[in-house]
Structure 1
């Protein structure tokens, strides 16, 4: 091992009793494949491992998501090559650095916080709205509920965080870092009901429009796509939902 660092809420200084622990385990490049093959066994030798699995579902196969204890504690063990340690989405705190390599790597590659690409969102948003409307029209309400969560996590949550100068990371901690915006997002929630779901999708559209306007960013608006997608959404809301037979 070349070193260990901690990231997440502990590194940025606001953990609580419900926080998980995000550990970065840095491995010499030459040993990385061997270590990856025995990760669970290694973790079990370090602590009382209750259960663990790999993180392919979040796009990070280097990750082991684990419960240790009791008392139960959620710990994420991210195994990275020493040569990849500087590639990061936040600055970690180095806990152990065998030969100073981790500190040198961080110093040589200063961290730049990711910014929210509003043009990327605008290029996609109205296609997403049309997609959600098709699910609503078919009466696939669980799909619509999931779609609303996607819009909050991918679009509205990051925009809300940006409005208060916080990192755009989904809906993490919005209730505390952006309480006014979090209250506004309450309108995008719905139950398993067609009319309620339609209202919630419309609320997403209106919040996106308002927050994009407030941002004052130089975004090329997809006006034609917006017009047609919103018209389609209103048409769907105005007619009875069809039950899916697929």
Structure 2
């Protein structure tokens, strides 16, 4: 298993696998200034879901940020970034040519030591009968928990960004919440990702208390890191 720094040091340090993931995902890491704008061809290419994500950014606990944008707008974004990240967020959609969208900031977490929780799911093909539609785009194998009658209770899909970092996405049906199914699935999926030599990551909205609690309980501590993207 990959070594993980203590929480006291984790805000400024990251395991090698995560560093490699961020370098591939964003185009550079770590940030060398308050805001490093990277001209990244990745931002013009289909991502794990086949869609183009024209901006991605990650900020560490100090606020130092790598912002990954298409090469043709990098100079304009770099110029706008001289005032700092927060003012830049309001300008990003227009700079990227889509003023109808809005930039967002979310919590970025990772682990190399998931919590010791019992497995609550089984791996099945994403397009297997009974798998809900929201899991289909993940492809490959997804993790599901079902009731005795076969009805779906919870699931985890894996966003396979690159060979170094895989992001976990979990949804629990309303009637199944509060039973620890989500925690069990996330820890089970995290162990699976780690066994493949990849770092599991977990993202959630800053105001999503339920997701934050699940992440904490599954062994994905909040280190004060955030991710920047463009909403639909």
Same fold (TM over 0.5): no
Higher percent of residues as strand: 2
What is the TM-score of this pair, normalised by structure 2? Answer: 0.29
TM normalised by structure 1 equals 0.27
Instruction: Pick the structure with more helix per residue.
Output: 1
